[in-house]
Amino acid sequence: MADELKDIVLNYVTKEYLEDDSEPLTYDTPLISGGIVDSFSMVSLKRFLENKCAISIPDDEATPEAFDSVNKIVSLVQRFAAKKG
Amino acid sequence: MSNIGSYDERVKNFSWTIAEKELGYKPGDVINIGWYCTDRICEQGKGSKVALHWEGHTGVEKTYTYNDIRLATNTIGAFLRGLGLKDGERVCLFMDRIPELYLGFLGILKIGAIAQPLFSAFGDESLFVRLSNAEASAVITQKKHAPKVRKILEKLPHIRHIIIVDHDGVAPLKDREVAFSLEKSAPVEHFDIHPTKAESASVLHYTSGTTGMPKGVKHVHYSLISQYLTAKWALDLREDDIYWCTADPGWVTGTSYGIIAPFAIGVTQCVLDAGFSAEAWYKWIEKRRVTMWYSAPTAIRSLMKAGDEIVKKFDLSSLRHLASVGEPLNSEAVVWSEKVFGMPFYDTYWQTETGSIVIGNYPGMEVRPGSMGKPFPGITGTVLDPVKNEPLPTYGKIGLVALKFDWPSRMRTYWNNEEAFQKKFRNGWYITGDRSKIDKDGYFWFAGRDDDIINTAGHLVSPFEVESALLEHPSVAESAVVSKPDPINLEVVKAFVTLKPGFAAGKDLDLEIMNFIRKKLSPLAMPQEIEFVPSLPKTRSGKIMRRILHAKEWGEEIGDTSTLEND
């Protein structure tokens, strides 16, 4: 489940936020501190996660630190998915 | 003792010749910002002083002395001239905050061309509108941003060169592209700097308007006089400061106070090209021993949100003075900064059009948390009665913030749009578009915009531009865009949308439209909320009444609805 989600998030970030000839992302590539996703774009990334995983992430939890890599995002999503379950 | 000393004394004895004398400028002389920011400092014997500490998001660091930036800007200037670029032509900078952005800006000015910096997160439509209006001859960019330029290149026949500063040879260069590597180029020791004069155009920054497309604000080399003196007096910038301006040079703060003023004063500047994180920012201040920090309310509120505990993990004792710009700084943020940093953020107020700080809180003057401060010495500011267009006779009444348009860094016109420029004046006053009141001691207190422009995180977004882009999405029939309150960004963009037949409102469509706008315009312009509605409020003549939607978002009185259709 986690691996599948990692790939879904990685593919989405690649498709939505990277230009065609950018360096490929890894699960640990810094997204926010690396300047790939800015704080405004985080809102649409959060919306994607909420839609895809049928969860709600409170604004207070949607911090730059929590969204800073695919691995961190997946941990956050799993936390809220577990709460929901 | 601060640079400004006594604000009241400065007001009494003020003349812009103070700055002219300090800079060794006399009316009629050649004045080139590129020279003032590099060669002049070297001629003062400070060529070995560090001008720029830069760090990228991967941790790569670069350090440049004043002699290094003199040579680098010569080298860039020589390269541009070699391509046939001449004085007066517009050269766009479309880059992240890498050294080539800062050095390229000054290199462009050295050949007498006009620098057009554009925010690197702009989407292709935002980019096209601005490049097209400016009729730019060249774009300096990175390989990661080149695809956006390529996408619109066919519609931009005046662009002769796309200069890629980090071409690695892996992918071939395309139509009109040329590679330039600062590091691999032989440094140019001697360079004939173009003899620009006070009124020669220097910078073209684009700003959003309520109606119509973004307008190019034209600045001139003489702006240096205001930028230099306001940085010294309002920001209290001193030659021995380690200075960090967090603004991106895609916006005016990033050029006026992120390039021109600090380098002209000869300070050591720090640039961190990374996204926001409280930990990374505090670490940067500690690492670089930053003494003067110029930031924005959105960033300050984000730091507040990160909490007080994290501040204690870092040694921030180097900080000497803090200032803020971009949107009103709320009193809570001022009080918080006094608590955690031991000093307040001094709010400053200005616009792309003003080119430099026009109202501010100054060192040594009492800071009234939440206030914009007082007009900079030499600047006459007031609040006008919106009907009579005369200064309000009594204190405490809200009116239009207006200025006598006579300081060196004021804009000279809107590019190719003199008509819009003239509309900015009433009864001899320049109308800023903001509303405020003045208290009995002369402090200005911000009360909001006088138009529909959205100020999100200190950046202006035009509802018209977002609505126009929304209509290009296949599902959107009509739209109305307004601001909604936001605890961090002050305001964010909200869109009300009616759909064409055959489309159904839903979470996936909502996200699709958000991303559509983000890529087309910019992340700032992306609606943070989309509300699908069956119809929009309109006047009987069919005009969408944004103010009704705005009032609902802000919990305000809706006001007169007598012209509302089907009410």
Do A44 and B511 make contact, defined as CB atoms within 8 angstroms? yes
| Residue range B448-459: mean pLDDT, rounded | 88
B319 in the same domain as B204 = yes
Domain annotation covers residue B440? no
B257 in the same domain as B226 = yes
At B162, list the tokens. 């796309």
Contact status, residue B273 vs residue B97, Cβ threshold 8 Å:
yes
pTM, two decimal places:
0.91
What is the DSSP annotation of B318-340?
A: T--EEEE-SSPPPHHHHHHHHHH
B508 at A interface, C-beta within 8 A: yes
Partners of A51 on chain B (C-beta within 8 Å) are 507-508, 511
Poorest-confidence range of A6-20, B170-184, B265-279, B426-440? A6-20
- Is residue B564 pLDDT above 80, yes or no? no
B259 in the same domain as B226 = yes
**Closest chain A residue by Cα to residue B528:** A43
Chain B nearest-CA distance from A82, in A, is: 22
User: What integer pLDDT is reported at residue B276 of this predicted model?
Assistant: 87
Chain A nearest-CA distance from B285, in A, is: 16
| Residue range B257-286: mean pLDDT, rounded | 96
Chain B nearest-CA distance from A44, in A, is: 7
Among candidate residues B435, B463, B484, the one where a domain is terminated: B435
pLDDT band at B567 (very low <50, low <70, confident <90, very high): very low
Chain B nearest-CA distance from A1, in A, is: 22
Task: Give the separation between CA B224 and CA B115, rounded to whole angstroms.
Answer: 15
pLDDT band at B566 (very low <50, low <70, confident <90, very high): low
pLDDT band at B558 (very low <50, low <70, confident <90, very high): confident
Domain annotation covers residue B2? no
pLDDT band at B451 (very low <50, low <70, confident <90, very high): confident
Do B273 and A35 make contact, defined as CB atoms within 8 angstroms? yes
Render pLDDT for B386-417 as a digit per residue (tens, 0 to 9). Answer: 999 999 988 899 999 999 999 999 999 999 99
Chain A nearest-CA distance from B451, in A, is: 23
pLDDT band at B61 (very low <50, low <70, confident <90, very high): very high
Render pLDDT for B196-205 as a digit per residue (tens, 0 to 9). Answer: 999 999 999 9
Length reported for chain B: 567
Of A34, A41, A65, the CB nearest to B523: A41
**Closest chain B residue by Cα to residue A19:** B144
B314 in the same domain as B269 = yes
- For chain B, the C-alpha Rg in angstroms (whole number) is 23
Partners of B58 on chain A (C-beta within 8 Å) are 34
Domain annotation covers residue B566? no
Domain annotation covers residue B564? no
User: What integer pLDDT is reported at residue A1 of this predicted model?
Assistant: 65
Domain annotation covers residue B304? yes
Partners of B148 on chain A (C-beta within 8 Å) are 19
B398 in the same domain as B262 = yes
B480 in the same domain as B417 = no
What is the DSSP annotation of B228-296?
A: HHHHHHTS---TT-EEEE---TTSHHHHIIIIIHHHHHTPEEEEEES---HHHHHHHHHHHT--EEEE-
For chain A positions 51-80, those within 8 Å of chain B (CB to CB) are 51, 63-65, 68
Chain A nearest-CA distance from B63, in A, is: 20
User: What integer pLDDT is reported at residue B542 of this predicted model?
Assistant: 77
Q: What is the ipTM of this complex?
A: 0.94
Find where tokens 């009116």 sit.
B399
B291 in the same domain as B161 = yes
Q: What is the CATH number of the domain that holds B410?
A: 3.40.50.12780
Contact status, residue B336 vs residue B306, Cβ threshold 8 Å:
no
pLDDT, chain B, mean: 94
Residues of chain A with pLDDT under 50: none
Burial class (CB in 10 A: 0-12, 13-18, 19+), B513: buried
What is the DSSP annotation of B77-110?
A: HHHHHHTT--TT-EEEEE--S-HHHHHHHHHHHH
Among candidate residues B402, B435, B468, the one where a domain is terminated: B435
**Structural domains of chain A in order of their starting residue, each with its CATH number:** 2-13+30-84 (1.10.1200.10)
Poorest-confidence range of A21-35, B112-126, B175-189, B275-289? A21-35
| Closest C-alpha among B143, B148, B139, B156 to residue B90 | B139
Of A51, A64, A68, the CB nearest to B507: A51
Angstrom CA distances, A77 to A25, A49, A61, stand at: 19, 7, 10
User: What integer pLDDT is reported at residue B446 of this predicted model?
Assistant: 92
Chain B nearest-CA distance from A22, in A, is: 6
Do B279 and A65 make contact, defined as CB atoms within 8 angstroms? yes
B515 at A interface, C-beta within 8 A: yes
At B215, list the tokens. 């307008």
B56 in the same domain as B148 = yes
B373 in the same domain as B331 = yes
| Residue range B68-95: mean pLDDT, rounded | 98
Domain annotation covers residue B444? no
Q: Where do runs of H (alpha helix) occur along B450-528?
A: 463-470, 507-520
Task: Give the separation between CA B567 and CA B561, rounded to whole angstroms.
Answer: 8
Domain annotation covers residue B339? yes
pLDDT band at B58 (very low <50, low <70, confident <90, very high): confident
Partners of A30 on chain B (C-beta within 8 Å) are 57, 275
Of A35, A44, A65, the CB nearest to B274: A35
| Residue range B319-335: mean pLDDT, rounded | 92
At B551, list the tokens. 């009032």
A85 at B interface, C-beta within 8 A: no
- Tell me which of B57, B95, B281, B491 to substitute to probe the interface with A (most A C-beta atoms closer than 10 Å): B57
Do B514 and A43 make contact, defined as CB atoms within 8 angstroms? yes
A82 at B interface, C-beta within 8 A: no
B508 in the same domain as B359 = no
B288 in the same domain as B169 = yes
B309 at A interface, C-beta within 8 A: no
User: What integer pLDDT is reported at residue B169 of this predicted model?
Assistant: 86
B142 in the same domain as B277 = yes
Residue B503 domain boundaries: 455-554
Domain annotation covers residue B155? yes
The dihedral sign for the CA sequence B285, B286, B289, B292: positive
B95 at A interface, C-beta within 8 A: no
Do A34 and B121 make contact, defined as CB atoms within 8 angstroms? no
Chain B nearest-CA distance from A21, in A, is: 7
- Tell me which of A40, A43, A51, A61 to substitute to probe the interface with B (most B C-beta atoms closer than 10 Å): A40
In chain B, % of residues over pLDDT 70 = 99
Q: How many domains does chain B have?
A: 2
For chain A positions 18-47, those within 8 Å of chain B (CB to CB) are 19-22, 30-41, 43-44, 47
The dihedral sign for the CA sequence A76, A81, A82, A83: positive
